[in-house]
Structure 1
Amino acid sequence: MGTDTVRTETSDDVAGRRREQRGWYFYDWACSVYSTSVLTVFLGPYLTSVAKEAADPAGYVHPLGVPVRAGSFFAYSVSLSVIAAVLVMPLVGAAADRTGRKKPFLGAAAYTGAAATTGMFFLSGDRYLLGGVLLVVANAAQSVAMMLYNSYLPQIAPPEERDAVSSRGWAFGYAAGSLVLVVNLVLYLAHGSFGVSESTAVRICLASAGLWWGGFTLIPLLRLRDRPPAAASAGSGSTPGLRRLVATFRDMRRRPLTLAFLLAYLVYNDGIQTVISQASVYGSEELGLGQSTLIGAVLLVQVLAVAGALTMGRLSRIYGAKRTILGSLVAWTLTLAAGCFLPSGAPVGFFLLAAAIGLVLGGSQALSRSLYSHLVPPGKEAEYFSAYEVSDRGTSWLGPLLFGITYQVTGSYRDAIISLVVFFVLGFLLLARVPVRRAIADAGNPVPERI
C-alpha cells in the first residue's frame, strides 16, 4: 500500500461521477414500475382470471400436462421465476466481473424483461400459459438486471457518499412507481370513459410498464461506463449456475463477517417482503376493507417511501447506516404490533399502518444495499451481489410459510401478522452482532468515518 500513488480527484472526475450517479438513479426509475403496477397490483388478479377462463370444470389448468389449480397458477409462476433467477444470476454476475462489461449484460436483462412485460398486452382470453411464460421471463430478467444495477454502487460512489446515493436510487424508484400507478389507476377505474373494457385497460397498464422500463433504461446505458476487470475476478464465470453460486458462498466463508451480515439481511428482509405481500390479505380478510382502499394504501406506501428513503439516508450521515437500519427494525416491530390491534372496517387505521410502512420501507432497503456494498471485495461486485439478490428474492418463502402456518393453527390473521415480529427481532440481534468496521476492512475496502 505504501507504494501506491495517491491521485487527487479533479473537478472533471467529480462531474463524471455525478453524471454516472444520475444515470444510475434512472434505472430504478425505469424498472420499479414493473414491481409496483405489474407484480403488486394488476398481474396477479388478471392472470388468475385468465387461468380460470381456461380451466376445466374442476377448476384446473394443465400446463405441460401438469394439473394446476387455476387460483395457484400465478403463485407457481412467480416461484418458477425465482428458481430461474437463482440459476442465472451467479453465472451472469461472475461473467460481468470477469469481463468488466456489466453494461451489455444490464442492457440485455433489462430489455428482455421490458419486452416480456410489453408482451403482456396480448394476454387475453384463455392465454394463461403465455402469461405464465412472460411472467417467468420478466421476473427473472428483473432479478438479473437488479443484481447488475446494484453491483455498480461501489464503483460509482465513494464510501462516504454511498448511503445517500443508494437512498436516492430507491427514492427515484418509488417516485416512478407512484407516478405510473396513479395514471394506471385513472385508466383502470374510469376505463369506460376512455372507451375500453376493464380487461383492455389492465392489458394497457401492463404493457405501459414494459414500455416505460425499456424507454428509461436508455439513460443509464448512456451514462454508466464499464471498467477493466480486477484481478480478483480472473478465472470466474465459466461454472454452471448452482455451482457458481456455491463457489461464491464458499468464497464468502473466507469473509465470515460479510456472510454474517447477509444472514441478518436474509432474516429481516424476509419479514419486510412478507409484510408487503400479505398486508393486502390482512386488510381484506381480517379488516374487511375493499379493493379501492387496498390500492390506495399501496399508492400511499409508494409516495411515503420516497420521503422515508431520503430521510433515512440523511439520518445515516449522523448515526451511521448500521444504527439507522437497527432503528428501522425497531420501527417495523412497533408497526406490526400496532397493526395487530387495528379495528375491523376502519380504513383510517389501515392507512396509518401503510404510512408507517412506507416511511421505513425505502430506507431499510436502501441502507442495507449501501452497507453491503462496503462488505464486497473489489472486483467481485456482481458476483457478490448475485448472492445478495438470491437472499432478497430466493428465500422469501419463509415469512409467508410462518404467516400461513400461524393462520392455519390459530384461525386468526391478527396472530399471523404479529408472528412476523420474530423476523425483525432476530434480524436486529444478528445485525447488532456484526462488527461492520472490521467486516469492511476484512473485505479489503476503506472504512468510512461513520458507518
Structure 2
Amino acid sequence: MSNISKDTGNNQEGPQMKANNTNSYHSTLSNDTVEAESVWNKASIYRSWLLLCYTTGPVASMSRTYVPAAIQSVARLVGKSSSGGRCDIRGNDCYVKFGVGKVHYTSYVLYLRAIYTALEGLLAFFMMGVADYANYRKWLLIGSIAAYGVFALPFAGLTNKDYSTLKGLSALYALLNIDDSIYQILEGSYIPLFMRASAPPGEYAEEVRREMVLKRGSTVSVMGLFLGNLGGLTALLIGIIISYGRGGPMEDGYHNFLLAITIAGCITVVFSIVSGYFIPSVENKPRPKSENLVFLTVKRFFQLLKNMKKYPNAFLYCVSWVIWNVTFTNFMSVFVLLFRSTLGLGSSDSEYTVYTFISYITASLGSLTWMFLYPRTQIKMKTWGYGFLGFSLFTNFWGCLGINSKTKVGFKHRWEFWVFEVLYSATSSAQRSLNRTLYSTLLPEGEEAQYFGLEVMLGVATGWIGSLVNAAIQDRTNNDRFPFLPNLILVGVSIFLYYLSDTEQGMKDVSKLVEENISEVNENTEIVIKKTK
C-alpha cells in the first residue's frame, strides 16, 4: 500500500475521483457481471486452469519429439539410398516416396509439417472469429484437449515397417498438429482474464495498475507453461523408463516411442475430463442473430484489420512474436532431427529420450527463473526480451557455422547439442512467457480469443512457408544445417519489429478505451435516470 500511496500522492483528487468512477461504473453493472469478474480472482479457478495446462503437456511433448522421431525412423526403414540399397543409420543418402516423387527422409517430416501448418491456419482463422461469442468457450477448450489425447492413442499399434504404417503415422501427426492450434487459442485467451481481475480499472493509479497487471501476468503465463512442461516431463519420464527398461533391437527402438505416445494420450484424456468439472464458463459477447458463423468470422477479421489504427503496437508486437515463434518451431524441427541423424538413428534413441527430458526441465527452470527475477530487479520486461531474442540469434548463427564441411563446430559434436539445447530451451521458454504477458496487456477487453487467435493464425499461416523452405533447402542440398541460415534472418526481423513496438503506449491505448467505456456507461445511466424522473 505504501507504493500505491507514493504514486498517487501528487494528485489528491485523483484516487478519490478514480474510486468514484469505479463505484459509478460497477453500480451500472448487473450482479451477474460483477460476480463473473470476481470469479477469476479465485485461487480454485486458477488452479483448475493450471491443471488444464498440465493436461496438454503429455501429448504436446510427444508430438514435438517422439512423433517426428518415429516418422523419421520408419521413413529410414522403408526408404532407399540413391544406389537402391538400404539406408544407413547415419548420413543423408536416404530417400522416400512423397506424392509423385521422392524426397530426403528427413525432409519428409519437414514437408509434412509445412502441409499441416497450412491446415492449422484455416482452422485458426475460423476459431479466432467465433471463440469470443456465445458461452461455449469452456467446452471447446475441454473438447479440444480431450481430442488431443484421443488422437495419440493409436500410435502403439503402428509398428510395421511399410509405407502404410508411414502414412498412418503421418495422418495422426496431422490431427495432432491441427488440434494443437485450437487449444492454444482458447488456453491463451484465459490469461488476460486472470490479469485484469488482479487490478480492476479505476481502483489504482494507472502506472501502479499496469505494474500489478504485468507482475500477475508474468506469474500466470509462466505457471501455465511450467505446468504444461511438467505434463510433458511426466510423459517423457515414462518414455525413459520404457526405453531403458523394455529395451529392444536397434532398428525397433522407436517402438518404445510409440508406446510412450499412447500412454501420454491416456493421461491427457483422463485429466481433461476431470478438469472440465472445475473450469467456469466465460461470459462472452452475444452473437449477432442475423449472421452465420462463417460470415461472422470473415467480418470480424476485416474489423480486426481496421483496428490496426487503434492498436498499432499490439499488431506490431503480434507480428514480432509470430516471426520469432516461427523461427523457434523451425529451429526445433531441424534440431531434434539433426541430433538423431548426426549421432545415429537407432543407436541414439535411448540418449534421445534423456535429451528431450532434460530440455523440458531446462525450459521449466528458464521460465521459473525469469518469473522470480523480474519483480525483484529494476530491469524492464521489454529489456529482458532483448536478451532472450539475442541468444536466439546467436544460436541460429552457431548452426550456420556448420554449413561449411570444413568448420569444426556448428552442431557436429555431442557436446554442442547438449549445451545449446539447455540454454536455448531455457531462454525460449522465458521469452514465450514474456510474450504472452506483454501481449495480454495490449488487448482490448472482450476480444482476448480473437487476438490470441490472430497470433496463432498468423503463426500457422506463415509457419508453413518456413517449414516448406527448410524442407526444400534440405532436400536439394542434403545439408541438415542449411535451414539455420533463413532462420537467422527471420530472428533479425523479429528483433527489429520488437524494437518498433511501443508496449507502454500500447497499454495506454487500451486503458483509454476502458475509461471511454466507463464514461459511456455513466452517461447512459444519467440519461436513463433523467427519463425515469
TM over 0.5: yes
Separation (CA, whole Å) in 1 of partners of 2:165 and 2:459: 30
C-alpha spacing 1:345/1:93, structure 2 compared with 1 (3 Å): closer
**Are the equivalent residues in 2 in contact too, given 1:121–1:207 (CA < 8 A)?**
yes
1:150 to 2:188 alignment: yes
Name whichever of 134-143 and 43-52 sits farther off: 43-52
- Equivalent residue for 2:335? 279
The 5 A counterparts of 1:396-435 are: 396-400=463-467, 416-417=483-484, 420-435=487-502
**Are the equivalent residues in 2 in contact too, given 1:88–1:241 (CA < 8 A)?**
no
Shift in Å, 1:226: 1.6
- Equivalent residue for 1:291? 348
1:25 to 2:50 alignment: yes
Letter in 1 for 2:25: D
Q: Say which SS state the counterpart of residue 47 (structure 2) adopts.
A: helix
The 5 A counterparts of 1:167-316 are: 167-192=222-247, 198=253, 200-230=255-285, 238-239=293-294, 243=298, 246-247=301-302, 249-254=304-309, 255-283=311-339, 291-292=348-349, 293-316=351-374
C-alpha spacing 1:204/1:79, structure 2 compared with 1 (3 Å): same
C-alpha spacing 1:363/1:344, structure 2 compared with 1 (3 Å): closer
The 5 A counterparts of 1:9-408 are: 13=38, 17-37=42-62, 39-48=63-72, 67=100, 69=102, 71=105, 74-125=109-160, 126-158=164-196, 159-160=213-214, 161-192=216-247, 198=253, 200-230=255-285, 238-239=293-294, 243=298, 246-247=301-302, 249-254=304-309, 255-283=311-339, 291-292=348-349, 293-317=351-375, 318=377, 319-338=379-398, 340=401, 342=409, 346-400=413-467
Separation (CA, whole Å) in 2 of partners of 1:259 and 1:297: 36
Shift in Å, 1:359: 1.7
Letter in 2 for 1:291: S
Separation (CA, whole Å) in 1 of partners of 2:340 and 2:230: 26
Name whichever of 48-57 and 354-363 sits farther off: 48-57
Q: Say which SS state the counterpart of residue 375 (structure 1) adopts.
A: coil
Q: Say which SS state the counterpart of residue 315 (structure 1) adopts.
A: helix
Shift in Å, 1:99: 0.4
Shift in Å, 1:400: 4.7
Name whichever of 144-153 and 279-288 sits farther off: 279-288
From 6, 23, 26, the counterpart of 1:5:
26
Letter in 2 for 1:417: F
Shift in Å, 1:30: 1.4
**Are the equivalent residues in 1 in contact too, given 2:443–2:451 (CA < 8 A)?**
yes
Shift in Å, 1:396: 2.3
Deviations 1:12-35 (A, max 9, x none): 958953222222222221112223
Separation (CA, whole Å) in 2 of partners of 1:426 and 1:312: 24
Q: Say which SS state the counterpart of residue 78 (structure 1) adopts.
A: helix
**Are the equivalent residues in 2 in contact too, given 1:54–1:127 (CA < 8 A)?**
no
**Are the equivalent residues in 2 in contact too, given 1:329–1:428 (CA < 8 A)?**
yes
Separation (CA, whole Å) in 2 of partners of 1:103 and 1:148: 8
Q: Say which SS state the counterpart of residue 463 (structure 2) adopts.
A: coil
Name whichever of 232-241 and 314-323 sits farther off: 232-241
C-alpha spacing 1:182/1:446, structure 2 compared with 1 (3 Å): farther
Separation (CA, whole Å) in 1 of partners of 2:230 and 2:319: 30
Name whichever of 214-223 and 428-437 sits farther off: 214-223
- Equivalent residue for 2:519? none
Corresponding pairs, count: 439
Separation (CA, whole Å) in 1 of partners of 2:290 and 2:222: 34
**Are the equivalent residues in 1 in contact too, given 2:158–2:165 (CA < 8 A)?**
yes
> TM-score, length-normalised on structure 1?
0.82
Q: Say which SS state the counterpart of residue 283 (structure 2) adopts.
A: coil
Separation (CA, whole Å) in 1 of partners of 2:67 and 2:356: 15
Letter in 2 for 1:267: I
Letter in 1 for 2:317: F
Shift in Å, 1:77: 3.9
Name whichever of 290-299 and 113-122 sits farther off: 290-299
Separation (CA, whole Å) in 2 of partners of 1:288 and 1:171: 31
Name whichever of 162-171 and 339-348 sits farther off: 339-348
Separation (CA, whole Å) in 1 of partners of 2:296 and 2:174: 17
Deviations 1:90-130 (A, max 9, x none): 32333331103211111221122211111323334334443
C-alpha spacing 1:77/1:297, structure 2 compared with 1 (3 Å): same
Name whichever of 86-95 and 413-422 sits farther off: 413-422
C-alpha spacing 1:215/1:368, structure 2 compared with 1 (3 Å): same
**Are the equivalent residues in 2 in contact too, given 1:91–1:240 (CA < 8 A)?**
no
Q: Which consecutive unaligned segments of at least 5 residues does structure 1 have?
A: none
Shift in Å, 1:56: 11
What is the aligned-residue identity percentage? 15
Deviations 1:285-338 (A, max 9, x none): 668896345543332221111110111223333433322212211222334445
Q: Say which SS state the counterpart of residue 188 (structure 1) adopts.
A: helix
C-alpha spacing 1:135/1:413, structure 2 compared with 1 (3 Å): closer
Q: Say which SS state the counterpart of residue 145 (structure 1) adopts.
A: helix
Shift in Å, 1:277: 1.5
Letter in 2 for 1:67: V
C-alpha spacing 1:193/1:212, structure 2 compared with 1 (3 Å): same
Shift in Å, 1:54: 7.6
Q: Say which SS state the counterpart of residue 430 (structure 1) adopts.
A: helix
**Where has structure 1 moved over 6 Å in runs of 4 or more?**
51-60, 231-237, 286-290, 404-412
C-alpha spacing 1:154/1:233, structure 2 compared with 1 (3 Å): farther
Separation (CA, whole Å) in 2 of partners of 1:172 and 1:378: 26
RMSD: 3.8
C-alpha spacing 1:256/1:236, structure 2 compared with 1 (3 Å): farther
**Are the equivalent residues in 2 in contact too, given 1:148–1:382 (CA < 8 A)?**
yes
Separation (CA, whole Å) in 2 of partners of 1:307 and 1:233: 45
Letter in 2 for 1:47: I
Query: Quick check: which has more Rg, 1 or 2?
Result: 2
